[in-house]
Amino acid sequence: MNTTAQSIDLAIKQLTEQFKQHCIKQTGKLPSVEHDSSWPSPCETGAIDADGFIHWQPVNIDEALDFKNVEQALGFTIHPDVHTYFSQIYSEAIPASCSEGNLELLFAWNKDDYERLQQNIIGHVLMKQKLKQEVTIFFAVTDEDDINLVIKNDSGEVWVEPVGCEPSKLIASNLTEFINSLSFKS
């Protein structure tokens, strides 16, 4: 793992630990999600409650996952930060705040979701190419339905991007810097 990948990995590990501690401090327990027996995840922990919910927490991905198949389908190389970001943990979306407001960091819930995420990224990139726009890869959604946070494929910079438009505002020079700037609402 190169230095940049290590710094992203460390930032994600620190963020997920802060997220778990924040949830426990705020509610006395881990977050919960409605259990779906047809969509299990290694993130699930404990028993399903009477309302059909189960606690969850981000967990490390132990298998080797990457975007090589996506690169083959698209015919170009995806920024290595994208590979690193999406191959570190399985998790439900993690809510956080940044200088631009509230957001949810997107991750895969399980291996099938990882494959679905890859398909969505292919669709996003094909749309960008059709619109003759520079390639970006989404990794977070905001409270505004039509605003995503993206990684510019050529530079690794983190930008605000209105759906269907070019990136509009630089918010971090790289993914590690961005992740390290996040906080959780009290």
Q: What is the pLDDT of residues 8-66, one digit of tens each?
A: 999 999 999 999 999 999 999 999 999 999 999 999 999 999 999 999 999 999 998 98
pLDDT exceeds 70 at position 67 = yes
HSE-CB of 11 using CA atoms within 13 angstroms: 20
Number of domains, the chain: 1
In a domain, 37, yes or no: yes
Domain assignment present for residue 167? The answer is yes
Within a domain: residue 105?
yes
Residue 185 in domain: no
- Confidence band for 185, pLDDT divided at 50, 70 and 90: confident
Domain membership flag for residue 186: no
Domain that holds residue 114: 3-180
CATH number at residue 22: 3.40.1580.20
pTM over 0.85: yes
Distance CA 29, CA 48 (A): 14
Q: What are 98-128's pLDDT values in tens digits? A: 988 999 999 999 999 999 999 999 999 999 9
| Sheet order of strands, 94-98 included | 94-98, 101-105, 136-142, 147-152, 158-162, 169-172
